[in-house]
Amino acid sequence: MVSAATGAVGSIVGQIAKIKGCCVVGITGSDKKCRWLTQELGFDAAINYKTADLERAIAQSCPNGVDVYFDNVGGSILDAVLTQVSEAIREIGQWIDQGKIKHAAEIVESLENAPSAILKLFDGNKKGKLIIKVSEEPI
């Protein structure tokens, strides 16, 4: 699964995946681009995120789930794809519980500290996931 599949990176990623023997589904923003992905680049399927019910279209294109997702956009497209990786979520959760996978998170309190915290993304001064806690409610 490749988002922004007709872009410079996504189109190459999808073609490399096909060369490596993968079934490739691209997500893009028009029917014309969908046709280019399938007819010219050899993608197995393409989804127009502007007109499709993303979760349904992804489930139909990948009836056995999504094994690998190359994300170029995040947001609602990422959310829709993640609903189709439930086996991976279960396995990763088990591996975390068993101590086979370790992860780190740095929580920065208060929106006031967000500007300086965000700089940590660029200066290498963080380890793991950076979370800015903006309320007293549980995350």
- Please list the residues that pair with 25 across neighbouring strands: 45
Name the pTM for this structure.
0.66
Contact of 108 with 117, CB cutoff 8 Å: yes
Between the two ends of the chain, the Cα-to-Cα distance in Å is 29
Tell me the per-residue pLDDT of 64-123, one tens digit each, with 9 for 90 and over: 999 899 988 888 888 888 888 787 778 888 988 999 888 788 888 988 888 888 888 888
- Tokens, residue 90: 């279960």
